[in-house]
Structure 1
Amino acid sequence: MTATAPSEVRSDPPDHGTAADAAGTDAPGTDAAGTDTAGLAGFGYRQELHRSLGRYASFAAGFSFISVLTTVFQFFAFGYSFGGPRFFWTWPAVLIGQLLVAACFAELAARYPISGAVYQWSTRLSNAVFGWYAGWIMVIGQVVVVAAAALALQVVLPAVWSGFQLIGTDTSPVSSDGAANAALLGIALLVLTTVVNLLDNTVMSLVNRVGVTAEIIGAVLIVTLLFTHADRTPSVTVHGGGGSSALLVSSIAAAYVMIGFDSAGEMSEETRDPQRVAPRTILSALAAAGALATLLVLAALLAAPSLTDGRLGTEGLSYVLTSRLGDGVGRALLCDVAVAVTVATLAIQTSATRMLFSMARDRALPFSGPLARVSPRTGQPPAPALVVGVLAAALLLLNFGSPDAFLAIGTTCIVMLYLAYAMVTGPQLLRRLRSPLPPATDPSGNPLFSLGRWGLPVNALALLYGLAMTVNLAWPRATVYDPSGGHWYFQWFTLLFLLAVLLVGFLWRTLRAHRGRVAPEGAAVPAPTP
C-alpha cells in the first residue's frame, strides 16, 4: 500500500483539518532525510522514491524542461515568420506573465512538497474531482510535450551533418521529408530517454545536471558571440512585422518555451529539504531560462545577415549561427543544442512519469497497480516511464502522415499545460478570497516562501494571464494550423484533442463509479498509516 489517502476521496480543502494541513507546521523543513520522510507521511504517503536530489539538481529539473536552446531553436522561425522583428517583445511579456504563475506555484511547493505537483495542488485547493481533471489534463499534456520536444532534433542534427537526414532531402520540419525524418529521430531519442528513466535516479539526475550545465554554457556563449557579430541596434525590434494579431500568434513561440518550471515541484519527493529548495528553484529556473531566451532572440535579430531574405522565417537560429559564426563554430554550438534537446526530452519524460506515478498511487488511473510500483533498487517507477515513452512515440507517427502535425502537436501540448496551470491558480485565488493561505513554517518555526499581502493581486493576474494565453493558443487560426488548406481537423486539432481527453476521462470515471469502485464524495480522508 503506497498511499493511505487516495485522491478520489479527498473532497475537502486543506483547511478543513485533513492531513494536508500539516504542511504549514509539520512538513519537512530541514535537510535531514528522516524529517523529509516524516513530512511526506503527514500527507499519507510512504517514502518510496529515492530522496537524493540537491538544490542544483532541483534547479536542473525545471531548467531542462524549459530548455532554452531546444525550444528557442525549435520555434524561432515560426515566431519570426508571423511577428517579424517585433516578435522579440512577446518574450519579456510572456516571462512576466509566467513569473506570476511561478510565484503562486512556489507558495504551494512550500506547503505541499509532493510528486504530481499540479494534480496534488489542485486537489487540495478544490476537491477530488476537479483535481483529478487537472492532473489528467496535465499528464496528457506532458506526454504530448515529450513528443514535441523530441521533434526538435530535426531543427538541429541535419544542420550539423547531412547524414542525419535519413529520409529525403528537405530538412524543413514542415516539409514531408523533414516531418518524417523528425519522427524517426524523435523515436530514436525516446528510446534513449526511456532507458535512462529506467535506471537509478542518480543516473538520471547526473545526466540532467551535466546536460543543463552544458546548455547554460552553450546559451551564454551563443548570446555573447552573436552580440559581438551584431550589425544593427535593438531599435529594429520596434520596426517591421505584423500588427497586434500577428504578435499574438508569434507569442506562441515564447509561450512554448516558458513552461515546465513546475518540474522542481514534481521532483519534491526526491529532493532534500524540498519545502525550501523547490520554491526557489521554480522561480530561479524560470527567471534564468526566460532571461537567456530573451537575450538569445535579441542577439539573433541583431546578428542575422538579413531580416528580409525570408531565411529567418524558415531556417531560424541555425541559419544565423552557421552564417555568422562559420560552419565550424556554428556546427559545434549546434551539437550543444542537440545535447540540450536530449536532456529536455529526458526531463519532460521524467516529469510526466512522476505525474502518472502520483495519480496511480491514489488509484486515480487505469492500471494503477503497475503504474504505482516503484523499484526498490532504482527508486524509479518503471511502468510510467515505459507508458510515457510508448505514447509519445505513437504521437510522433502522426508526423509521417502530414507536416502540419508538427505544429499541431506543439500547440496542443502548451494549451494543455496552460489550462492545467489555470486549474491550480483558479482554486488558489478562490481559496484566498475566502481566507488567506495559512503561513508555512519549518519544524524550527522559520517561515517558508509566501507572497504575503501581494498574494491576492499576484494570484489574480496569474489566473487572468493564464486564461488569456490559453484562449490565444487554442484559437483555431487556419493560417497557423492549416496553412496548406484541406485539413480542417488540423485547424481544430487542439480543441478536438482537448475534448477527446476530457471525454475519455469522463467515460473512465463514469465506468469506474458504475462499478462501485469510487468512494462517495465527501468521505473522510483516512489517517496516515505509520
Structure 2
Amino acid sequence: MTIERPSDERKAAAPAENPNDAALASFGYTQELKRTLRFFSLFAISFSIVSISTGIFLNYGFAINQFGGASIWTWPIAAAGQIVMALLIAELSTKIPLAGYAYQWGARLVGSTYGWYTGFFGLLYMSITGGAIILLGATPLLFEAMGISPPDGVLLGVAMAILLFTVVINIVGVQLAARVNNTAVVAEIIGIVLLAVTVVVAFGLYTGDGGGSVANLTNTSGTAGSGIGHFVLAGLLGIYTMVGFELSADLTEEAIDSQRAVPRGVLMGVIGSAILGMLALICFTVAMPDLGAAQESDAPIVTIADFYLPSPLVKAFIVVVAFSMIALVIANQAAQARLMYSMGRDNMLPFSRHFRLVNERTKTPMRALIVGGVVSVGFMVYGFLQTDSFATLIGATSIAPYVVYLLIVGSYMRRRSTLAAAPGAFNLGRWGVPLMVVGLVWIIAALLILTIPADFHGAVKVVAAATVLAVLWHVLVLRGRIKRGEAGVAKFTNSARRA
C-alpha cells in the first residue's frame, strides 16, 4: 500500500511569528498546533504522568513483600538515576524542540530508521500505559470507594469507558487537557502526600494497641525471601513509577517559550515527584501497624489508612487518587497522539495521511487521538485476559520507556559534541559527558532488573512481539519509503538548527 508523502507546500516553512515558530521552521515544518502551554502546564504533565500516587498505590505492596519496610530506601536510588535522565532530556529538548520527541531525536541524531524504532518504543510505552493504569488502578479504586466488588466483565467495561473518556477530553482541546492536569497536581498532593501526612499524624496521636513503628524503616522481612536480590527487585517501586516525565517534551510545539519552559517542566516534574514520593513512603511505612497484614493486602496503603482514619475519609482520599490516575492517562493520551502526529507527517506510519491531520477547530490531531485510544483499549483487553495482568501490563509499560531512554542516550552520546547549544537555553556544559555515562549505566541496570526475573517474562514477550511487528513494518514497507525519499527526515546538522 502506498501512502502519499506530505506535499512540498505542506512541509515548507512559513514565515515564523515568534522564536518558537522560527525554531520549528528551521526543521522544515509549519506551525499547525496551537501554542498555549506555559511552564506550570508542562510541569503538571510531567508530574501527573509520573504520578507518585499511581506508582505507590500499585507497587508498594510488591516492594514490601520483597524487602519489608526497608524497601522504600530503593526509591532514592531510582530517583537519582531518573534525575540524571531528566537532565539529559532537558538539554536535548532545547536542541531539537519538536513534537514526537523520541522519534524526532533519534531520526535527527542518527537517521530515519533509528528514529522509527525510538518512536515505536515510545508509542508502545504510551499505548500500554493508558490501558494498564485505568484497568489496574483507577477503576478498581473507584469501585472500592463505592464499596462494590463488580464482576470482572463489568470492571473491564467501565475501564474501557473511562479510557475513552480521556480521549474525548483531549479531542476537545489541549487547553482542557492541560486544565485537568493542572488540577491533577493538587489531586496528587492531596491524594497521596496529604493522606500520608494525615496517617503519620494519626499514628503519632494513637494511644491504642498495635500501631506503627519507626523500626519499620529498617525492617527487611519480605515474604518473597531475603538477600540483596530482593532489595534489587524492591527497586521496581521507583523504577516502575518515575517514568514519563519526558513526555512534556512531546508537547513542545504547543509550548510558549519552549526553550525554557520545557526543560524546567521536565526537571521539576521528576524532582518534585522524587521528593514528595519519598515523604509519602516514609510516612506510610512508619505508620504501618502490621507488616504482615500489609503484605497480605491487595491495597496495603488502604489497609494502613483504614487502621487510623474513618472509612469515609479514606474513601474520599481514594477517589482523589483515582482522579489523579485518570489525569495521568489524559496527559499520556495527549503525548501519544503528538508522537503519532509527528511520525505521520513524516510518513513513518501506516495511514500516515490520517495521523498528520490537525482539526481546524480544536487544533488537535483528532484522528491520532482516536486511533491511539483504540490501541490502548486493545492492550487493556489483552492484559485483562492474562493470568497476571499486573506483571504483564506494568512490566511492559516499564520496559518500553527504558528502551527509549537507552536509544536516546546512545544517540546523544554520539552526537552531543557536534551540536550547538541553543542560545539562552538549558545547557549541561562539561557535566554532559559524565552524566551520559552515569545515565547509560543506570538504564542498563534498570533494564536488567525489569527483564531477567522469571515473573516478568510475560512482559518481555509483549515487548518482543511488538518489536517483531516494528521490524516487519520497517523491512517490508518503511525501508523502501525512506530509500525513495518518501518518508523520514534529513539527518540533523548544526547548520540546519541555526537556519
Structure 2 counterpart of 1:427, which letter? Answer: S
Deviation at 1:276, TM superposition (A): 0.6
Deviation at 1:4, TM superposition (A): 6.0
1:424-466 deviations in Å (ceiling 9; x for gaps): 011112224xx3642220xxxxx21111111111111011101
Gaps spanning 5+ residues in structure 2: where? 204-210
Q: Distance in 2 between matches of 1:333 and 1:522?
A: 47
Q: In the alignment, does 2:437 pair up with 1:468? A: no
Select the residue among 269, 286, 294 that pairs with 1:302: 286
Structure 2 counterpart of 1:425, which letter? Answer: V
Q: Distance in 2 between matches of 1:320 and 1:450?
A: 44
Relative to structure 1, is the Cα distance of residues 522 and 392 closer, same or farther in structure 2, using a 3 angstrom cutoff? closer
Relative to structure 1, is the Cα distance of residues 465 and 401 closer, same or farther in structure 2, using a 3 angstrom cutoff? same
Q: Distance in 1 between matches of 2:481 and 2:191?
A: 55
Q: In the alignment, does 2:130 pair up with 1:159? A: no
Deviation at 1:184, TM superposition (A): 3.1
User: Under a length normalisation based on structure 2, what TM-score does the superposition of the two structures give?
Assistant: 0.89
Deviation at 1:2, TM superposition (A): 6.2
What is the 5 A alignment of 1:255-294?
A: 255-294=239-278
Select the residue among 419, 423, 427 that pairs with 2:411: 427
Q: What residue in structure 1 maps to residue 466 of structure 2?
A: 501
Contact in 1 for aligned 2:212/2:289 (Cα 8 Å): no
Contact in 1 for aligned 2:217/2:286 (Cα 8 Å): no
Residue 262 of structure 1 aligns to a residue whose secondary structure is helix
Q: Distance in 2 between matches of 1:523 and 1:347?
A: 27
Q: Distance in 2 between matches of 1:369 and 1:358?
A: 11
Relative to structure 1, is the Cα distance of residues 93 and 392 closer, same or farther in structure 2, using a 3 angstrom cutoff? same
Deviation at 1:5, TM superposition (A): 12
Select the residue among 82, 89, 112 that pairs with 2:96: 112
Q: Distance in 2 between matches of 1:514 and 1:126?
A: 15
Q: What residue in structure 1 maps to residue 315 of structure 2?
A: 331
Contact in 1 for aligned 2:120/2:470 (Cα 8 Å): yes
Q: In the alignment, does 2:400 pair up with 1:416? A: yes
Q: In the alignment, does 2:119 pair up with 1:135? A: yes
What is the 5 A alignment of 1:61-210?
A: 61-151=45-135, 152-163=137-148, 165-167=149-151, 177=152, 182-210=155-183
Deviation at 1:159, TM superposition (A): 2.5
1:85-135 deviations in Å (ceiling 9; x for gaps): 121011111000000001000001111111111221122222221121111
Q: What residue in structure 2 maps to residue 10 of structure 1?
A: none
Root-mean-square deviation (CA, aligned residues, Å) is 2.8
Q: Distance in 2 between matches of 1:516 and 1:358?
A: 16
Deviation at 1:340, TM superposition (A): 0.4
Relative to structure 1, is the Cα distance of residues 422 and 393 closer, same or farther in structure 2, using a 3 angstrom cutoff? same
Looking at secondary structure, tell me which structure has more helix per residue: 2
Relative to structure 1, is the Cα distance of residues 215 and 238 closer, same or farther in structure 2, using a 3 angstrom cutoff? same
Aligned-pair identity in percent equals 28
Q: Distance in 2 between matches of 1:45 and 1:437?
A: 20
- Structure 1, 189-198 or 232-241: larger mean CA deviation: 232-241
Relative to structure 1, is the Cα distance of residues 493 and 228 closer, same or farther in structure 2, using a 3 angstrom cutoff? same
Select the residue among 15, 26, 44 that pairs with 1:60: 44
1:67-93 deviations in Å (ceiling 9; x for gaps): 111221122112222221121011111
Tell me the matched-pair count: 477
Q: Distance in 2 between matches of 1:56 and 1:82?
A: 37
Q: Distance in 2 between matches of 1:344 and 1:110?
A: 24
Deviation at 1:277, TM superposition (A): 0.5
Q: In the alignment, does 2:403 pair up with 1:438? A: no
Relative to structure 1, is the Cα distance of residues 360 and 222 closer, same or farther in structure 2, using a 3 angstrom cutoff? same
Deviation at 1:324, TM superposition (A): 1.8
Contact in 1 for aligned 2:117/2:470 (Cα 8 Å): yes
Relative to structure 1, is the Cα distance of residues 125 and 517 closer, same or farther in structure 2, using a 3 angstrom cutoff? closer
Deviation at 1:474, TM superposition (A): 1.3
Relative to structure 1, is the Cα distance of residues 516 and 222 closer, same or farther in structure 2, using a 3 angstrom cutoff? closer
Q: Distance in 2 between matches of 1:381 and 1:229?
A: 48
Q: What residue in structure 1 maps to residue 195 of structure 2?
A: 222
Q: In the alignment, does 2:21 pair up with 1:37? A: yes
Q: What residue in structure 2 maps to residue 451 of structure 1?
A: 428
Structure 1 counterpart of 2:103, which letter? Answer: Y
- Structure 1, 384-393 or 225-234: larger mean CA deviation: 225-234
Contact in 1 for aligned 2:66/2:231 (Cα 8 Å): yes
Gaps spanning 5+ residues in structure 1: where? 8-18, 21-27, 168-176, 442-446, 482-491
Q: Distance in 1 between matches of 2:367 and 2:383?
A: 26
Relative to structure 1, is the Cα distance of residues 522 and 419 closer, same or farther in structure 2, using a 3 angstrom cutoff? closer
Structure 1 counterpart of 2:74, which letter? Answer: T
Relative to structure 1, is the Cα distance of residues 316 and 429 closer, same or farther in structure 2, using a 3 angstrom cutoff? same
